[in-house]
C-alpha cells in the first residue's frame, strides 16, 4: 500500500470504518452492473472506502457514476476521497465548471417543478398534483435531498385514485427509507402501502418479492436475523431483477438469505426452506459457494462449510448492508456448527475438534469455554483428559424443579403481597410530597449511621 | 393468709367454659386482685417472696403479673434495688406465662416488658434479649405480628452484639402491622383470633408504629443477619426495605441505605448483581438509580471476567461512600468472594480442571491479578471445600502429573414420583396455611377507607363496562342507564 492510501485508510479506520485488505473474488464491473439507480454510487463509494485493492477503481467509478447524475454533493465526496487516496488520477481533480453548471441546472429544475406543481394545485386537478409531487420528489431524490424527496412522495398520498398508485408511492418511500438506513420506516411503509396490494393482481407476485427483499434488508439492519432470513427465502426467482435492482441484486438475495439462514436455522429448516425450495434454489445457482456451504452444513460437514464462508469473508465485508453484521453472523454460524457437531456424541476429544474447527481465533478449548459460559452450549470440558462431553437435557427433572420452584415462589410472593397490604391498611407507607424524586427526610437512628459493617 | 392466697390462685377457672365466660371471669378476677392488693399492701410488700413462690407464673399468670406490677410501683419504677430483687421473678414470668390470660391484661404486660429492655433495665443485655424474645414468641408463637417491642428488641440486640438469642424471633416472617381500630367484638382470649385482633394499640400489647420504625426493624434485622453471615436472610430483610410501599413519590433514607447493602449482600449470596423486584415503587427506583449508582457499577464490574474493573470500582466507592455508610468490610468481603464465585462458576464448564488452569482462568479482586502460585490456588480450594461452598475434590495423581480439581456433580436423576409428590404436598400445605392469613387481611381491609373507595370505583367501572357491552350487543341506552342506577355499590364487600 502506498503512503497516500495508508493515510487515507488510517483516517477511515480512526473513524470506525472497516478496512478489507484481501482481494475479493468478485469483478467490480460485473458486480455493479447488477444494480440500477442511486444504490450504484453508494456501493461503489462504500467499496472504495473499504477495500484496499479496489479502492482507486471503485472511487473512479463512483466519480463517473456521480457525474452521470445530478447529485453534486456525492460528486464532491467521491472526488475528495479519490484525491486523498490517489491524487494523480485525472478524476481526482474537481470539475468546477460541471459543478457550477449542475448546481444552476438543479436550482432551475427545482423552481420549474415547484411552479408547475403550484399551477396544478391552483387548477385543483388531483391527478396532476399527484404527478407534480412525484416529479418533484424524484428530482429531489436525484439531487440528493432525500428529506425533501420523502416529503414530496408523502404529499402524493391524498391524491391517489387507485391501489396501484398507492403501491407506487409505497415503493418510492421504501426506496428513500432504505437509502437513509431508516429501517423502521421501511417496515412501516411496507405494511401501510405495499402489502395492501390485491393478491389476484398479475403484478402481485413481483410486488411481493419486492416487499420481501425490502423487508429482509430492513430486518437485517435491525439485527432481526431470522425474520430477515425468512423474508429473503420467500423471494420469487421468477420475478425479473428489474423490479428490485434499485435496492438489491439476485446475487444479494442468495447471499443474504443463505448467510442469515445458516446463522439462524437448524439443519431441517435449511433443507426445507432453502435446498428444497425451488424458487430459492434458482437464486442459489447465482452464488454456488453459498449453496455448497449450506449443503455441507446440512450434511454435517461443518468445518467445510466454515472454510467456504471464510474464503468469501472479504467479499461480504464489502457489502453495503452486510458489512456491519459479518462478524456476528460468522460467529453465530461457527457456534451453531460446534453445537451441531457435538450433538450425536457423548464425548469428543479436544484435538479432534481442534482439527475440525481450526479457525483463526482462539484455541478450541477457549472457544468452548466461552460458549458454555455464555449458555450457547450445554456441555462440560474435561481439561485433564482433554475431552468435551455434551449434556442431555432431562425434561422430567426440569419439569420437577420448575414446578417446585413455582410453588415456592407463589407462597413467598403471596406472603409478601399480604404483608404489603397490611402495611397499606395500617397507613404505614412512606409518604412523599407529590414531587417525584424528593426524599422523605426521616432522621436516622443510631443504628443507621455507619452501622452494618462487619468490623 | 390462706384465704388471700386462694384469691390469687382462683384464676384460671376449670376447663370447659367458653371464651366469653373466661373473659368475664378474668376481668372479675383482676378486680378482686386489685382490691386484695389495695387492702393488703403491707402484707404483699413484706411477704413478696413467699407469695410469688406460691403463685405459679405458668398457671396463675394474671395474678403473678399484677403482683409484680404492684411491687415495681411500690418500690418506685426507677429504683434499681427493687428491680434487682424482682429480676428473677420477672424472668421466670416472661419465660412461662400463659398467653391466653395476658391477652386480657391490657397495658400491664407491656409496661413490665419495657422494664426488661429499657435503658434503666437491670438485666444484662444478653439476658434481656433472650427474655424479651421468649416473651414475644409466647404471646404470638407465629411471630407474624410486628410490635413496638420487636423494634426496641432488635435495636438492643444489634447494638449490644447479642444477635444470637434474637434470631428465632427475627427469622419469623412479619405479615401484620399494628394499627388502631382493630379491636374485635370477640373476646380477646379466643385462641382462634389472628394476632392483629388481640395485639394492637387498642389492646395496649403494642404501641402504634411509624413507617420509619417498620423500615428500621427490617434494616436492623438485615444487619443482624449480616453479622451472622446469614446471607439469604439478610438479603430478604434488605429487600423488604427496598420494596417498602411508598406513595406520592416518597422514599426514605433507610431504603436507599438498605438498597446499597442489598446489592452487596446479593453479590455475596448469588455471585451476580440482584434485580429489583417488580414491587419496588417507581419513586424508589428513580432514587436508587441516582444515589445507588456507584454500588450498581460496582455490582456490574463483579460480572466481568477482569478483576481489575472490580478493583477500580471498589476504589471509587471506597473514596466516596463506603466509610460513611459503614460498608467497607462488606465490600471487602465482596472483593474476596469474587474469585470464589469465579471458581464456583467453573463447575458449569468443567468436570476436571488443573489447578494451574484455575489460576489462569480466575483472578483475585483484592490484588487485581491471578493468585501468585498453584499452591495458593490449592489453599483457596481447600478452604472453599471445607466451608461447603465448593462441591469438589482435589486430586493429586501419584504419577507426578499436576494436581487437578474434580467437580462433584449433583445426582443427575430427578425425584421419584413418591418423593416429588411428597414435596408438592408439603408446599401445598404451606399455601393452604395462607388461608387464615388471607381471611384476617380481608377483614382488616374491609375497615380501610381507601380500600373501600377503590372497590367502589372498581364496581362503578365494571358497571360502566357492562353497560357498554349491552349497548354493543344491541341493548338500548335507556336499559343500560337503569343498570347503573340500580347498582348496589356496597354489595360484594368483605363482611366486617
**Are A422 and B175 an interchain contact pair (Cβ–Cβ within 8 Å)?**
yes
**Least confident among A216-225, A321-330, B422-431, B468-477:** B468-477
Closest CA to A102 of A78, A74, A83, A62: A74
Which phi and psi angles does B170 have, rounded to 5°?
Answer: -75, -10
Of B377, B408, B439, the last residue of a domain is: B408
Q: What does the pLDDT average to over B301-319?
A: 88
pLDDT of A196 above 80: no
Does the CB of B28 have a partner CB in chain A at under 8 Å? no
**Least confident among A124-133, B162-171, B232-241, B334-343:** A124-133
- Is B242 domain-assigned? no
**Are A373 and B349 an interchain contact pair (Cβ–Cβ within 8 Å)?**
yes
User: Helix, strand, coil: what percent of chain A each, to 5?
Assistant: 65, 5, 30
C-beta separation of B78 from B118 below 8 A: no
Of A380, A433, A436, the CB nearest to B350: A380
Res. B494 pLDDT band, cuts 50 70 90: very low
Local structure of residue A91 (DSSP, 8 states):
G
Residues of B in contact with A390 (CB under 8 A): none
CA distance A211 to A208: 5
- Which helix H or strand E contains B445, and what residues bound it? helix B434-445
Query: Quick count: other Cβ atoms within 10 Å of Cβ B390?
Result: 21
Q: Which residues contact A16 (CB under 8 A, 6 or more apart)?
A: none
User: What pLDDT is recorded for position A1?
Assistant: 64
Side-chain half-sphere exposure of B96, counting CA atoms within 13 A? 16
CA distance A71 to A142: 6
Chain B CA closest to residue A422: B176
Residues of B in contact with A433 (CB under 8 A): 248-250
User: Domain tally for chain B?
Assistant: 2
Does the CB of A384 have a partner CB in chain B at under 8 Å? yes
Does the CB of A347 have a partner CB in chain B at under 8 Å? no
- Cα B189-B194-B200 angle, rounded to 5 deg: 75
* Three-state DSSP state, B17: coil
CA distance A58 to A89: 13
User: What pLDDT is recorded for position B454?
Assistant: 82
Q: Which residues contact A202 (CB under 8 A, 6 or more apart)?
A: none
Exposure of A90 by Cβ count < 10 A (0-12 exposed, 13-18 middle, 19+ buried)?
A: exposed
Tens digit of each residue's pLDDT (9 = 90 or more) over A380-423? 999 999 999 998 777 888 888 899 899 989 989 999 999 999 99
Side-chain half-sphere exposure of B297, counting CA atoms within 13 A? 14
Tens digit of each residue's pLDDT (9 = 90 or more) over A328-381? 999 999 999 999 899 889 999 998 888 888 755 568 898 899 999 988 999 999
Convert B39-55 to b/e letters by CB count within 10 Å (16 or more is b).
ebeeebeebbeebbeeb
Local structure of residue A440 (DSSP, 8 states):
B
Of B374, B408, B442, the last residue of a domain is: B408
Of B59, B88, B104, the last residue of a domain is: B104
Closest CA to A140 of A68, A65, A71: A71
pLDDT of A442 above 90: no
**Are B249 and A435 an interchain contact pair (Cβ–Cβ within 8 Å)?**
yes
Closest CA to A422 of B368, B337, B214: B214
Mean of all residue pLDDT scores within chain B:
87
Does the CB of B418 have a partner CB in chain A at under 8 Å? no
Exposure of B425 by Cβ count < 10 A (0-12 exposed, 13-18 middle, 19+ buried)?
A: exposed
User: What pLDDT is recorded for position B466?
Assistant: 77
Q: How many angstroms separate the CA of residue A441 from the nearest CA in chain B?
A: 7
**CB within 8 Å of chain B, chain A residues 54-83:** none
Kindly indicate whether the domain formed by A345-390 is annotated with CATH number 1.10.10.10.
yes
Convert B218-248 to b/e letters by CB count within 10 Å (16 or more is b).
bbbbbbbbbbeebbebbbbbbbbbbbbbbee
CA dihedral B285, B291, B296, B297 (to 10 degrees): 140
**Are A448 and B196 an interchain contact pair (Cβ–Cβ within 8 Å)?**
no
Q: Could you tell me which CATH number the domain at A113-297 has?
A: 1.25.40.570
Closest CA to B127 of B160, B97, B80, B79: B160
Does the CB of A346 have a partner CB in chain B at under 8 Å? no
Tens digit of each residue's pLDDT (9 = 90 or more) over A39-92? 999 999 999 999 999 999 999 999 999 999 999 999 999 999 999 988 888 888
- Is B11 domain-assigned? yes
CA distance A212 to B463: 47
Q: How many angstroms separate the CA of residue B468 from the nearest CA in chain A?
A: 31
- Is B50 domain-assigned? yes
Share of chain A above pLDDT 70, in %: 92
Q: CA end-to-end span of chain B, whole Å?
A: 49
User: What pLDDT is recorded for position B411?
Assistant: 58
Q: How many angstroms separate the CA of residue B404 from the nearest CA in chain A?
A: 8
Mean of all residue pLDDT scores within chain A:
88
Does the CB of A124 have a partner CB in chain B at under 8 Å? no
User: What pLDDT is recorded for position B184?
Assistant: 74
Q: How many angstroms separate the CA of residue B7 from the nearest CA in chain A?
A: 41
Task: Give the CA radius of gyration of chain B.
Answer: 30
Tens digit of each residue's pLDDT (9 = 90 or more) over A83-104? 998 888 888 888 999 999 999 9
Spell out the domain ranges in chain A.
3-98, 113-297, 345-390, 395-454
Is the fold of A113-297 the same as that of A345-390?
Answer: no
Tens digit of each residue's pLDDT (9 = 90 or more) over B354-371? 999 999 999 999 888 899
Query: Quick count: other Cβ atoms within 10 Å of Cβ B16?
Result: 6
C-beta separation of A174 from A186 below 8 A: yes
User: What pLDDT is recorded for position A198?
Assistant: 57
Residues of B in contact with A422 (CB under 8 A): 175-177, 196, 441, 444
Does the CB of A396 have a partner CB in chain B at under 8 Å? yes
Q: Which residues contact B84 (CB under 8 A, 6 or more apart)?
A: B122
Which phi and psi angles does A252 have, rounded to 5°?
Answer: -60, -40
Residues of A in contact with B245 (CB under 8 A): 420, 423-424, 428-430
Handedness of CA B475, B481, B483, B489 (dihedral sign): positive
Interface test with A, best of B166, B243, B248 (most A CBs within 10 A): B248
**Are B349 and A427 an interchain contact pair (Cβ–Cβ within 8 Å)?**
no
C-beta separation of B353 from B347 below 8 A: no
Tens digit of each residue's pLDDT (9 = 90 or more) over B190-245? 888 889 889 989 889 999 999 999 999 999 999 999 999 999 999 999 999 999 99
**Least confident among B153-157, B245-249, B437-441:** B437-441
**Are B244 and A423 an interchain contact pair (Cβ–Cβ within 8 Å)?**
yes
Q: How many angstroms separate the CA of residue A360 from the nearest CA in chain B?
A: 21
pLDDT of A453 above 60: no
pLDDT of A202 above 70: no
- Is B264 domain-assigned? no
Supply the CATH number for residue B338's domain: 1.10.10
B490 to A148, A422, B446, B479: CA distances (angstroms): 62, 22, 11, 22
Domain containing residue B6: 1-104
Q: Which residues pair with A431 in a beta bridge?
A: B247
**Are B286 and A437 an interchain contact pair (Cβ–Cβ within 8 Å)?**
yes
B11 to A412, B8, B101, B145, B168: CA distances (angstroms): 42, 7, 9, 28, 31
CA distance A171 to A186: 9
B12: cis peptide before it, omega within 30°? yes
Does the CB of B155 have a partner CB in chain A at under 8 Å? yes
**Are B329 and A453 an interchain contact pair (Cβ–Cβ within 8 Å)?**
yes
Does the CB of A414 have a partner CB in chain B at under 8 Å? yes
Res. B185 pLDDT band, cuts 50 70 90: confident
- Is B37 domain-assigned? yes
Closest CA to B92 of B134, B121, B125: B134
**CB within 8 Å of chain A, chain B residues 85-144:** none
Amino acid at each position: 500500500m502506498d503512503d497516500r492510501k495508508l493515510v487515507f485508510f488510517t483516517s477511515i479506520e480512526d473513524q470506525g470504518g472497516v478496512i478489507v485488505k484481501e482481494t475479493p473474488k468478485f469483478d467490480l464491473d460485473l458486480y455493479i452492473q447488477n444494480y440500477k439507480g442511486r444504490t450504484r454510487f453508494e456501493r461503489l463509494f462504500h467499496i472504495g472506502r473499504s477495500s484496499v485493492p479496489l479502492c482507486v477503481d471503485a472511487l473512479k467509478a463512483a466519480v463517473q457514476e456521480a457525474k452521470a447524475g445530478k447529485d453534486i454533493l456525492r460528486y464532491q465526496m467521491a472526488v475528495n476521497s479519490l484525491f486523498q487516496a490517489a491524487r494523480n488520477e485525472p478524476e481526482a481533480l474537481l470539475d468546477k465548471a460541471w459543478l457550477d453548471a449542475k448546481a444552476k441546472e438543479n436550482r432551475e429544475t427545482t423552481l420549474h417543478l415547484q411552479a408547475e406543481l403550484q399551477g396544478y394545485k391552483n387548477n385543483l386537478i388531483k391527478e396532476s398534483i399527484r404527478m407534480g409531487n412525484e416529479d418533484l420528489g424524484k428530482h429531489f431524490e436525484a439531487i440528493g435531498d432525500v428529506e425533501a424527496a420523502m416529503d414530496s412522495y408523502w404529499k402524493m398520498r391524498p391524491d391517489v385514485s387507485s391501489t396501484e398508485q398507492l403501491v407506487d408511492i409505497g415503493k418510492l418511500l421504501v426506496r428513500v427509507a432504505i437509502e437513509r438506513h431508516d429501517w423502521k420506516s421501511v417496515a412501516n411503509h411496507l405494511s401501510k402501502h405495499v402489502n395492501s396490494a390485491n393478491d389476484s393482481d398479475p403484478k402481485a407476485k413481483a410486488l411481493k418479492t419486492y416487499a420481501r427483499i425490502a423487508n429482509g434488508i430492513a430486518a437485517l439492519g435491525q439485527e432481526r436475523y431470522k425474520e430477515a432470513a425468512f423474508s429473503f427465502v420467500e423471494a420469487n426467482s421468477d420475478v425479473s431483477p428489474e423490479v428490485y435492482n434499485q435496492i438489491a441484486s439476485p446475487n444479494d438475495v442468495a447471499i443474504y438469505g443463505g448467510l442469515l439462514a445458516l446463522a439462524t436455522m437448524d439443519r431441517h429448516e435449511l433443507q426445507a426452506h432453502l435446498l428444497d425450495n425451488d424458487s430459492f434454489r434458482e437464486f442459489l445457482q447465482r452464488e454456488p459457494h453459498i449453496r455448497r456451504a449450506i449443503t455441507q452444513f446440512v450434511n454435517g460437514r461443518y468445518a467445510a462449510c466454515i472454510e467456504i464462508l471464510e474464503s468469501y469473508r472479504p467479499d461480504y465485508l464489502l457489502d453495503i448492508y452486510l458489512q456491519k453484521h459479518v462478524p456476528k453472523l460468522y460467529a453465530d454460524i461457527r457456534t451453531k456448527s460446534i453445537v451441531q457437531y457435538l450433538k450425536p456424541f457423548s464425548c469428543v476429544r479436544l484435538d479432534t475438534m481442534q482439527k475440525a474447527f481450526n479457525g483463526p481465533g482462539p484455541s478450541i478449548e477457549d472457544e468452548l469455554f466461552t460458549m458454555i459460559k455464555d449458555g450457547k452450549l450445554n456441555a462440560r470440558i474435561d481439561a485433564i483428559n482433554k475431552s468435551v462431553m455434551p449434556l442431555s437435557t432431562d425434561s422430567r427433572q426440569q419439569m420437577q424443579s420448575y414446578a417446585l420452584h413455582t410453588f415456592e415462589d407463589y407462597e413467598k410472593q403471596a406472603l409478601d403481597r399480604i404483608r404489603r397490604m397490611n402495611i397499606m391498611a395500617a397507613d404505614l407507607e412512606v409518604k412523599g410530597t407529590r414531587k417525584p424524586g424528593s426524599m422523605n427526610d426521616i432522621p436516622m437512628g443510631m443504628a443507621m449511621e455507619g452501622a452494618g459493617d462487619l468490623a | 393468709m390462706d384465704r388471700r392466697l386462694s384469691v390469687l390462685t382462683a384464676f384460671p377457672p376449670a376447663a370447659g367454659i367458653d371464651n366469653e365466660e373466661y373473659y368475664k371471669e378474668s376481668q372479675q378476677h383482676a378486680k378482686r386482685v386489685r382490691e386484695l392488693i389495695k387492702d393488703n399492701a403491707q402484707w404483699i410488700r413484706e411477704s413478696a417472696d413467699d407469695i410469688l413462690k406460691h403463685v405459679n407464673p405458668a398457671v396463675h399468670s394474671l395474678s403473678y403479673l399484677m403482683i409484680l406490677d404492684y411491687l415495681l410501683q411500690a418500690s418506685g419504677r426507677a429504683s434499681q434495688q427493687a428491680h434487682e430483687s424482682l429480676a428473677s421473678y420477672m424472668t421466670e414470668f416472661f419465660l412461662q406465662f400463659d398467653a391466653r390470660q395476658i391477652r386480657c391484661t391490657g397495658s400491664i404486660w407491656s409496661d413490665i416488658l419495657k422494664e426488661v429492655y429499657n435503658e434503666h433495665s437491670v438485666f444484662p443485655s444478653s439476658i434481656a434479649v433472650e427474655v424479651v424474645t421468649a416473651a414475644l414468641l409466647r404471646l404470638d408463637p407465629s411471630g407474624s405480628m410486628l410490635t413496638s417491642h420487636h423494634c426496641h428488641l432488635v435495636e438492643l440486640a444489634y447494638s449490644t452484639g447479642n444477635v444470637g438469642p434474637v434470631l428465632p424471633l427475627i427469622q419469623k416472617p412479619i405479615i401484620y402491622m399494628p394499627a388502631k381500630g382493630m379491636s374485635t367484638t370477640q373476646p380477646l382470649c379466643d385462641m382462634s383470633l389472628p394476632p392483629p385482633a388481640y395485639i394492637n394499640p387498642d389492646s395496649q400489647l403494642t404501641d402504634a408504629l411509624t413507617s420509619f420504625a417498620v423500615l428500621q426493624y427490617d434494616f436492623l434485622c438485615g444487619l443482624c443477619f449480616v453479622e451472622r453471615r446469614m446471607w439469604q436472610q439478610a438479603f430478604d430483610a434488605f429487600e423488604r426495605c427496598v420494596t417498602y410501599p411508598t406513595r406520592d413519590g416518597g422514599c426514605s433514607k433507610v431504603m436507599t441505605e438498605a438498597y446499597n447493602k442489598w446489592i452487596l449482600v446479593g453479590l455475596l449470596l448469588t455471585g451476580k448483581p440482584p434485580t429489583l423486584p417488580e414491587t419496588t415503587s417507581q419513586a424508589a427506583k428513580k432514587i436508587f438509580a441516582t444515589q445507588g449508582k456507584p454500588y450498581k457499577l460496582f455490582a456490574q464490574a463483579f460480572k466481568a471476567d477482569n478483576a481489575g474493573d472490580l478493583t477500580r470500582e471498589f476504589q471509587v466507592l471506597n473514596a466516596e461512600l463506603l466509610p460513611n455508610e459503614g460498608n467497607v468490610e462488606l465490600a471487602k468481603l465482596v472483593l474476596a468472594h469474587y474469585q470464589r464465585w469465579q471458581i464456583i462458576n467453573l463447575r458449569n464448564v468443567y468436570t476436571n480442571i488443573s489447578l494451574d488452569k484455575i489460576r489462569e482462568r480466575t483472578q483475585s479482586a483484592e490484588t487485581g491479578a491471578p493468585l501468585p502460585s498453584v499452591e495458593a490456588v490449592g489453599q483457596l480450594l481447600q478452604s472453599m471445600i471445607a466451608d461447603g461452598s465448593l462441591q469438589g475434590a482435589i486430586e493429586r495423581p501419584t504419577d507426578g502429573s499436576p494436581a487437578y480439581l474434580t467437580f462433584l456433580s449433583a445426582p443427575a436423576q430427578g425425584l421419584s414420583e413418591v418423593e416429588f409428590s411428597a414435596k408438592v404436598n408439603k408446599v401445598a400445605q404451606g399455601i393452604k396455611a395462607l388461608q387464615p392469613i388471607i381471611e384476617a387481611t380481608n377483614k382488616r381491609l374491609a375497615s380501610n377507607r381507601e380500600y373501600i373507595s377503590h372497590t367502589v370505583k372498581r364496581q362503578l367501572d365494571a358497571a360502566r363496562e357492562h353497560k357498554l357491552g349491552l349497548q354493543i350487543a344491541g341493548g338500548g341506552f335507556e336499559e343500560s342507564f337503569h343498570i347503573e342506577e340500580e347498582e348496589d355499590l356496597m354489595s360484594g364487600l368483605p363482611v366486617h
